[in-house]
Amino acid sequence: MRFKSALLFCAGLLFLLLAKVKHSMLGYSSPKPFDLADTERCATYDIEVVDGWLTHLGDHLGADANLAIAGKDVLELGPGSDLGIGLYLLSKGVRTYSACDVNDLAVAAPDEFYEVLLNRVSLGLEAGRVDQLRADLASTREGRQSPLNYVVREDFDLVEAFGENVIDIVFSQAAFEHFDDFDATVRSLSAVCRSGAVIVAQIDLKTHSRWIRDKDPNNIYRYPEWLYSALAFRGAPNRVRPNRYVNAFERHGWTGVTVTPVSRLGAFDDFGVDAAFRDRASQMDLLSVVLCARRARKVSGGGSPKPS
């Protein structure tokens, strides 16, 4: 046991070092675990992500999610490599789709991808509606205003990007674990969202390096804070556990916060995990979760939420 733990500790350090070197040389360039040139797979991914969100939204609201999003203003945090999710949501009747990212990755998405996606979502839509989606995409890619609103900000300031009291529904897929200051993000969401707004956020709690995440999904939790911080970079997994996300949302005026496990360890042995993560509240058996919550009341002047 001690030998295996030591081996995984050393292997994880190597992966952390390699990830930092790669990031310093290439930046953040691969939000999906497969190439964007695989257009069919990318289109399937985007559609499945949205359908998964809607399932959780429906469960959380106890209502038909497709009716719940109709005519609503939607925000996605960290759209990643393309705007396929936004187009799919617009095709399902949302009024506007806005997205904010730190890295301008969607600019590289090929036309072929969007044609594949639009062909997939066009079933049941009037031809004029599909043409409008193409026009919205063209406007966005040319920097003109459209219901498909894509914003890139290095500071990730949501209030400056979109204003206050403008969003009804927030979606996020594997983005929260990359926020260096997740509390500031939740505070900003409290300002940009209207009363009664709902968030559905899937959060990947695992190690991100692809070989070791399968062998030792909790590898990043083996290291003391000083060591992990020394090897971290902007956008590296922040090691925030679900209980801290719940606390942040509740403090910033969100209610009915739920955390639903998506994947978890069958059994968890905390041997080798840093002492900071050995308490029961950390729930180290959880590998991926969906957080849902409702914005219950508005912020005071200046955009700063009152604590609950």
pLDDT tops 90 at residue 125 = no
**For the residues 51-56, what does the mean pLDDT come to?**
98
150-168 residue pLDDT tens = 999 999 999 999 999 999 9
pLDDT tops 80 at residue 36 = no
Measure the CA–CA gap between 139 and 177, rounded to whole angstroms.
31
- Give the CA-trace dihedral at 11, 265, 50, 57, to 10 degrees: -140
**For the residues 261-287, what does the mean pLDDT come to?**
88
227-247 residue pLDDT tens = 999 999 888 999 999 999 999
CA angle (33, 39, 40) in 5-degree steps: 95
Q: Which CATH architecture has domain 31-205+241-300?
A: 3-Layer(aba) Sandwich (3.40)
pLDDT at 133: 96
Which residue, 40, 131, 37, 118, is CA-closest to 83? 118
59-101 residue pLDDT tens = 999 999 999 999 999 999 999 889 999 999 999 999 999 999 9
Which residues, in sequence order, are bridge partners of residue 258?
292
**Both structure tokens of 45:** 């991914």
* Secondary structure class of 250 (helix, strand, coil): helix
pTM above 0.75, yes or no: yes
pLDDT tops 70 at residue 33 = no
pLDDT at 20: 86
**For the residues 110-133, what does the mean pLDDT come to?**
91
Distance between alpha carbon 290 and the CA centroid of its chain, in Å?
10
pLDDT at 38: 87
Token pair 């709902």 is found at 198
Name the H helices within 216-278.
225-231, 242-251
Measure the CA–CA gap between 81 and 42, rounded to whole angstroms.
9
Name the H helices within 97-165.
111-121, 127-141, 158-162
Please report, for the chain, the start and end positions of each structural domain, with discontinuous segments joined by +.
Answer: 31-205+241-300
**For the residues 117-143, what does the mean pLDDT come to?**
91
- The count of residues in the chain is 308
pLDDT tops 70 at residue 304 = no
Over the chain, what is the mean pLDDT?
Answer: 90
In sequence order, what are the residues at sequence separation of 6 or more whose Cβ sits closer than 8 angstroms to the Cβ of residue 182? 176, 238, 240, 244, 245, 248
Taking a C-beta distance cutoff of 8 angstroms, is the pair 248, 188 a contact? no
Classify the phi-psi angles of 37: left when phi > 0, otherwise alpha if psi is within -120 to 50, otherwise beta: alpha
The angle, 0 to 180 degrees and rounded to 10, between the axes of the packed helices 182-192 and 242-251 is 40
60-69 residue pLDDT tens = 999 999 999 9
**Both structure tokens of 38:** 């695989």
pLDDT at 45: 94
pLDDT tops 80 at residue 298 = no
In sequence order, what are the residues at sequence separation of 6 or more whose Cβ sits closer than 8 angstroms to the Cβ of residue 83? 99, 106, 109, 114, 137, 140, 148, 150
189-224 residue pLDDT tens = 999 999 999 999 999 999 988 889 888 999 999 999
Which residue, 35, 192, 177, is CA-closest to 99? 192
pLDDT at 30: 59
Measure the CA–CA gap between 1 and 194, rounded to whole angstroms.
51
pLDDT tops 70 at residue 300 = no
Percent of the chain with pLDDT over 90: 70
pLDDT at 97: 98
Q: Is the dihedral of CA 204, 207, 208, 213 positive or negative?
A: negative
Measure the CA–CA gap between 173 and 32, rounded to whole angstroms.
11
- Give the CA-trace dihedral at 56, 62, 65, 67, to 10 degrees: -170
Percent of the chain with pLDDT over 70: 93
Residue 31 per-residue DSSP state? S
